[in-house]
Amino acid sequence: MRKKFVAGNWKMNKTVAEAQALATELIPGLAPLTSIERVLCPPFTALHPLAGMLQNTGIGLGAQNLYWETSGAYTAEVAPPMVAELCQYVIIGHSERRQYFGETDETVNKRVKAALAIGLTPIVCIGETLEENQAGKTAEIVSRQVRGGLADLTPPEGAKLVVAYEPVWAIGTGLAASEVDANTIHRDVVRVALAEMFGAEVAQGLQILYGGSVKPNNAANYFTQSDIDGALVGGASLKAADFVAIAQAAV
Ligand code: PGA
């Protein structure tokens, strides 16, 4: 049985004071939901204060990226030990990183290896663009992203990942993928690729999240599908009542 997993990606939103206020609202709603994994991913600047606030709540903390070198002259980058000091999770390869900041399957792969090496759980994002979707290339693109981003990992390393399928055209647009379409990609493309790479047993145990316009009114539809093990939530994770409602739908 795969545990349901709900993560909030706050993206480039919330000052420290605003992040603390949101966390204060979220903690009483999320802490009791012990049957699922719930994770908050604020901006880097809010990680330290939130790490303190989330102690002993059972709520995990994640960064939105990390660099693969351990230290050195890489101005503005954040190293794995710095993230691991505060967090248990890290989002890697979000489509906004791919779209605006030159992230590729190769750089995703380097970040995933660095995260695993220091004991962080990577939440690895994949997903096709609208153009690729309309050209009927979804399976090909998603499969390539899984194989490229997770290349050279051993099965025990593969077993430590979380994967998030987020069709780019569904992110922040209100145009969510249907739960049946998303489940088909999870089951027939992502889990199949994971099984070929890490073996059937590891693949069956891995959590595959859906992301892209998940809201309180559609969340339950996703969570009842066979191969949708949770959600990576953007916009709705910035409103405490909405994110708690989504997490409750996963319970
Ligand atoms: P959204 O974002 O929920 O605002 O569509 C999802 C994401 O980018 O992770």
Taking only the tens place, the pLDDT of each residue in 88-123 is 999 999 999 999 999 999 999 999 999 999 999 999
Helix, coil or strand: residue 47: helix
CA of residue 72 to ligand 1 center, whole Å: 32
The mean pLDDT value of the chain amounts to 98
Q: What percent of the chain has pLDDT over 70?
A: 100
240 lines ligand 1 (CB under 6 A): no
Taking the CB of residue 17, how many other CB atoms lie within 10 A of it?
10
91 lines ligand 1 (CB under 6 A): no
φ/ψ of 230, rounded to 5, equals 155, -165
- For strands 5-9 and 37-41, give the pairing: parallel
pLDDT digits (tens, 9 = 90+) for 25-80: 999 999 999 999 999 999 999 999 999 999 999 999 999 999 999 999 999 999 99
pLDDT band at 24 (very low <50, low <70, confident <90, very high): very high
Taking the CB of residue 180, how many other CB atoms lie within 10 A of it?
9
CA of residue 73 to ligand 1 center, whole Å: 32
Dihedral angle over CA of 226, 8, 12, 107, nearest 10: -50
166 catalytic residue (yes or no) = yes
Q: Is the pLDDT of residue 1 over 90?
A: no
Of 37, 166, 179, 186, the active-site residue reads: 166
212 lines ligand 1 (CB under 6 A): yes
Q: What per-residue confidence (pLDDT) applies to 4?
A: 98
CA of residue 85 to ligand 1 center, whole Å: 26
pLDDT band at 20 (very low <50, low <70, confident <90, very high): very high
Quick one: CA dihedral 171, 9, 2, 200, positive or negative? positive
CA of residue 30 to ligand 1 center, whole Å: 19
φ/ψ of 6, rounded to 5, equals -125, 120
Q: What percent of the chain has pLDDT over 90?
A: 100
At a CB cut-off of 8 Å and minimum separation 6, what does 236 contact? Answer: 214, 215, 216, 242, 243, 246
Report the atom number in ligand 1 closest to the C-alpha of 232.
9
215, two tokens? 């809201």
φ/ψ of 74, rounded to 5, equals -135, 70
For the segment 144-153, the average pLDDT, to the nearest whole number, is: 98
CA of residue 15 to ligand 1 center, whole Å: 19
- Top mutation candidate among 171, 210, 218 for ligand 1, by most atoms within 8 Å of CB: 171
Q: Of all protein residues, whose CA lies closest to atom 9 belonging to ligand 1?
A: 234
Beta bridge partners of 19: none
Query: What domains are there in the chain, each with its CATH number?
Result: 5-250 (3.20.20.70)
Report the atom number in ligand 1 closest to the C-alpha of 237.
3
Quick one: CA dihedral 90, 65, 149, 166, positive or negative? positive
Please, are residues 2 and 37 in contact by the beta-carbon 8 Å criterion?
Answer: no
Please tell me the total number of residues recorded for the chain in this structure. 251
Q: What per-residue confidence (pLDDT) applies to 64?
A: 98
190, two tokens? 């992502």
